Structure 1
Amino acid sequence: MNPNTICAVNTCPGNLRNASAALFFALINTITAAKCSFASPNDYPEDYGPFLKDEDEFDFIVVGSGSGGSIVANQLSQNQNWRVLVLEAGGIPSANSDIPALLFSLQRSEEDWRYKTQQTQGPKGSCLGGNDKQCNWPRGKTLGGSSSINAMIYIKANKKDYDEWADMGNPGWDWKNVKDYFTQLENVQPPDDKITHLGTKGLLPITKTRHNSPLRKSMNKGFLELGVPILSEQNPENPIGTVDAPICVHNGIRSNTGREILGAVKNRKNLFTSLHSMVHKLIIDPKTKMTKGVEVKVGNTTLRLRAKKEVILSAGTVGSAQLLMLSGVGPKQHLTDLGIETIKDLPVGKNLQDHLMFVAYELKLDLNAIVPFDPIDAIYEYFKHKTGPLSNIGLTNYLNFVNTRNDSIWPSISYHNLILNPNDESTFYMLFRAHNIPDEVIKEKIKICKDRPCLAHMPVLLSPKSRGEILLNSTSVYDHPLINTGYLTDEDDEDLQVFLEAIRFSDELFFKTEALKVHNPELIRPIAPACDSYKYQSDDYWKCVLRHYAITIYHPSSTCTMGPDENTAVVDSRLRVHGIKNLRVVDASIMPRLVSGNTHAPTMMIGLKGADIIKEDWS
């Protein structure tokens, strides 16, 4: 018997008969029939790794297949005369990755690099509420990189962000020069004539969706009471307001860049993708400072591969910085301390920035805030039709952009929202373990939310002043680097102050507006015994809780920052590593300043514009 065949003969319990048996088998048969539509290798490029040989030569070698790398490889391989190789440390994304509602199950999985932050001590500590006083730092280790494990939210950030990049000495990176690249990415499904700020013919399928819960409608009315408008779509030139952001989903399945960008051109004869390929270092001549290729372990074989034109690092904010330093490009003293010969002294790993999210502003609500659904019905609907609760991310893409500081049109905070249904223990554990919250705290949360739904209303710091750094842990690429986030360490505590303003704004929304009274919101006291010596809800109390439960929202950037001065930047405005020939970085690590929104779309834009720059330079 085929082991993949479900045999129903004589396996049905005696009490499962007639109509109930028919329904049960209908569900099983639907799931069985649908399984081939998930994580199919046929959707992705063939693994070329087994065919690679030592000293093989390509025109371009792209390290990493994430939001930036997939785009670069797709675009460069349009030239049939260029042989392009993509090296990816992971494999093909799992079926869990395909199902949008299972996004939190991917953290700490085989598709995640499983980074953790360094412990912090003293009055400027952070992540103090996590296991071992650390935050998890998930990054994608699979085809598509973090696009295969992220929340799929498509936000372009703001005009001001890109204009500031240009003002910092990076010509061509202002909003006027980058906005068309976003349009080239966007393929809104189904097309909608009412949409004016999104493209419909681009590379990546994205879906407009909204969560039709009573709570969302009440929150919209509440924000209106506070003067915050309701937006039909995000406008990067006027971004304040509440909006249902589009998500990178197509026909109910995640649109990761491995499938949609690389898989779409998998039959090109000049494009090669090697999976399970761990790059050890770049091959750079210390005298000429010419990049010759990479040293990579493919399966159990270590190879030296040659790049005739360039090596392009798209390994992400952590990986690109780590590989540069392992290859002798980075802070001289740090490299010397590890016995690494310095080929070029550059501030690699410095200027680390990230969006910090506060996950301990939680409320209990009445049952009238939600629309209950049956999990079995949801499973059947999804596997049968690719619709229903599993086909989207619930309230997570309902975003609220506000400025808590002044009347500026540029937001200082965005709120993310997540509804937790009563007695849904599996979701509680999946979500909060992903955030590295101790199990004893999770158990208390489950008790609190046993009879009523709970809302996590999570402010995100959009323009952090704090800076961190990434350092090598050793000379081995297999040892995770040291991630010193620098969260909440800015000298004037401005980051903390903006968070406090966000908390007070949330108080106004839930306890002062007429619209939210219908749900009888009740603030849940955070489980933070170390903060109980402060007066509950005082500024000092919240500052303490923030240092325990402000965590990453998975948007690290800027460790290979772009700028004209090699004393403060790693790459120039054409993404060339300062002082090193034939080497570029094309990913989120080049952002000179973190954008005011989710980083997936901006990183894809960097990939698209970066590819155009490379093509221009080699034309």
Structure 2
Amino acid sequence: MNNKLLIVLLLILIVSQAIIDEQVIDFYSDIISKVYDNGLRYRFPKNAFEHCATEKPKKYGSYDFVIIGAGAGGSVSANRLTEVPYWNVLLLEAGQYGNILTDIPDMFYPIQFTHYNWAYNSTPQKTACLGLVNRVCLYPRGKGVGGSSLINGLVYARGHKSDFDKWAKAAGNERWGYNKVLEYFKKSEHFVHRDPDAPYEPKFHGHGGYLNVEYHLYRSPHLNVFLDAHKEIGLDIVDYNANRLGASPSQLNTFHGTRLHNAKAFLYPINKRSNLNILTGSYVTRIILDTNVNPPVAVGVEFSHNGHNYYVEAKKEVILAAGVFGSPQILMLSGIGPRKHLQDVGIKVVKDLEVGTTLRDNPTFFGLSFSTNYTEPIRPLKDYVKQFLNGIGPLTVPASNQGIGFYESSYTRGTGVPDIELMLIPANSSNILSQRSFGLTDQTYEDVWKYVNATQTFTVYVVDLHSQSIGSVKLKSKNPYEYPLINSNFLSDPQNRDINTLYEGIQLVLKMSQTKAFRSIDAKLQPGFLRACKQYRHFSRDYWYCALRQLTINLYHPLGTCPMGTNPKKGAVVNYELKVFGIENLRVADASVFPFTLAGHPNTPTVMVGEQLADLIKFTHKGSSGLWDYFL
């Protein structure tokens, strides 16, 4: 081939690739624009009637294990159990697989206005969420293969070592203590230290696991100011997953800037395993219990699929991983729950347990914004898409949550145990869906965000990590397609620890605002005066306590509705082996088993729960021929 012909061919190849790249960029830009427009019109579901089927159930088949829910716990459990080649597993999921939009981390808000969101709501509240429409807290929950990791903020924050040592005491077993759970965290993780300026302690991280963890690129100047302010007031820049107090750029579950939801991490790599069947569009209505024996035994699952009802036999165990609302709902529909409540809705009681009576979350104040003299440039959407396709830029960070920090409160001072979390949201993080995403009334939105200059304003979220307030999840009726009744009950603890902790978090941010770092960009607290608190002097203590009631909502971290413990008479639903008390062959593996809130974000500990469950099951059935080859 002569040189001229080679040059011509290379030019043709370059031009062709440029055309293809431009087509890809146009495609992404088009769907991003459309999904925002869709979000303004989208109507949230009020129930699960779309899955309703009324015919008599037909047998679907028999499996060794039936897993309900393909979120963090279910995805990991399915992966690890099918490592045993002669076990067959059915994974039932009500939603569908993710798509291109779920792969883009900053579609965090618009993806909530799609079928990937169950879109639960709380009952009207009395102590928090008062600035929201009808005083209702919104509860986006992921519906699809990957669960809530399809729509969450992707922050990789495990919790503090003290949380797990406390968990071990609650469970009565050291396998839930920090030294043991750290092994599981590292087993799942593959840490990529792609920001050399970000803190990193290798001994606390894993390599070679399914779950990628990385820092985003590149930093906003607002993040750098936030970190510099810490140094000025004597706080450290740390790897917070090494049990340190201080701040850092956010560690995220992304892979080269794309969303790594739990299904992409744990299910997609094993989709060729012949002993795993993932059945989407499958809505579970109850667990089939054999009550002719004592104790009762879980023997199967009933579910609807494509307009038909089915039941499937579980030869070994049923694993419930339907999430903090779905798991208690399914248990109660199956006759496992508080006796009086089940009787009130007309369900025969099989086992009297405190299912759904201890809903917890991380109450979060969203009302701190600062104007600055730095203007974040607004680029054409195509430029952001180009950056995303190269693994960098604003589309790689959900809701632009670039910074995160953990701090003591007066309740934990001197212990090293974080009680407060701050999250830094740089400029250009708000969008046309912000009001709908938070559920704000027109008045609240106008008071706080409507008139700010989004290109110059950053926000700091204040999080109460160890909330004392307790809510509940109850059945609306015995109809399995009705959504449950969710009472958040934030800021209701009688000692007022939760609201006091959040107020201390506000004061910490205000202290940072006096630093040279903040002054270098002329950062000033936005007026944002809430008319609901007009009777108080602006930014006085009484004003902040009023504002906290208005703008404290959930961080989408619900947990604890089927808590682990040693004594069902004291509220425990599962034991340290994740087994439901008083029921054979039934375990729970999701965030509902957390006995209390953690100083972290629930997705990562839920992955750990799934890892633990698989090993516990392998140990239970280790007598099976040849199983030692696959155990631990």
Q: TM-score, normalised by structure 2?
A: 0.86
CA contact (8 A) 2:160 2:418 kept: no
**2:323 is matched with which residue: 313, 316, 327?**
316
Q: Are 1:229 and 2:236 an aligned pair? A: yes
CA distance in 2, matches of 1:419, 1:552: 20
Deviations 1:262-304 (CA, angstroms, capped at 9, x unpaired): 1111111110000010000110123321111011001111001
CA contact (8 A) 2:232 2:515 kept: yes
User: Structure 1 vs Structure 2: percent identity of aligned residues?
Assistant: 31
Deviations 1:115-159 (CA, angstroms, capped at 9, x unpaired): 0011023xxx21111111111101110110011111111111110
1:448 positional shift: 2.6
Q: Are 1:431 and 2:434 an aligned pair? A: yes
In structure 2, relative to structure 1, the CA distance for the partners of 1:445 and 1:492 (3 Å cut) is closer
- Structure 1 residue aligned with 2:385: 379
- Structure 2 residue aligned with 1:287: 292
Listed as ranges, the gaps of 5+ residues in structure 2 are: 1-15, 33-56, 623-632
1:603 positional shift: 0.5
CA distance in 2, matches of 1:143, 1:311: 18
1:32 positional shift: 6.0
The one-letter amino acid of 2:545's match is K
* Equivalences for residues 198-277 of structure 1 within 5 A: 198-231=205-238, 233-237=239-243, 239-277=244-282
CA distance in 2, matches of 1:381, 1:211: 10
In structure 2, relative to structure 1, the CA distance for the partners of 1:562 and 1:451 (3 Å cut) is closer
CA contact (8 A) 1:170 1:562 kept: no
CA distance in 2, matches of 1:105, 1:55: 36
CA distance in 1, matches of 2:423, 2:171: 33
CA distance in 1, matches of 2:554, 2:368: 15
* Equivalences for residues 604-615 of structure 1 within 5 A: 604-615=607-618
* Equivalences for residues 154-553 of structure 1 within 5 A: 154-171=156-173, 172-189=175-192, 195-231=202-238, 233-237=239-243, 239-288=244-293, 289-367=296-374, 370=376, 373-383=379-389, 385-393=390-398, 395-405=400-410, 406-421=413-428, 427-439=430-442, 441-442=444-445, 447-450=450-453, 453-510=456-513, 512-526=514-528, 528-553=530-555
The one-letter amino acid of 1:213's match is S
- Structure 2 residue aligned with 1:44: none
- Secondary structure of 2:23's counterpart equals helix
Indicate the larger mover: 257-266 or 574-583. 257-266
1:389 positional shift: 2.3
CA distance in 2, matches of 1:54, 1:230: 57
1:162 positional shift: 0.3
The one-letter amino acid of 1:470's match is V
1:515 positional shift: 1.6
- Secondary structure of 1:455's counterpart equals strand
1:195 positional shift: 3.3
- Secondary structure of 2:431's counterpart equals helix
In structure 2, relative to structure 1, the CA distance for the partners of 1:599 and 1:444 (3 Å cut) is same
- Structure 2 residue aligned with 1:127: 129
CA distance in 2, matches of 1:33, 1:335: 51
In structure 2, relative to structure 1, the CA distance for the partners of 1:444 and 1:465 (3 Å cut) is closer
Q: TM-score, normalised by structure 1?
A: 0.88
1:306 positional shift: 0.6
The one-letter amino acid of 2:270's match is V
- Secondary structure of 1:310's counterpart equals strand
CA distance in 2, matches of 1:305, 1:30: 43
- Structure 1 residue aligned with 2:599: 596
CA distance in 1, matches of 2:75, 2:491: 33
- Structure 1 residue aligned with 2:24: 30
**2:138 is matched with which residue: 112, 131, 136?**
136
Count of paired positions:
572
CA contact (8 A) 2:324 2:591 kept: yes
The one-letter amino acid of 1:31's match is I
Indicate the larger mover: 156-165 or 193-202. 193-202
Q: Superposition RMSD on alpha carbons, in Å?
A: 2.4
In structure 2, relative to structure 1, the CA distance for the partners of 1:32 and 1:108 (3 Å cut) is closer
- Structure 2 residue aligned with 1:41: none
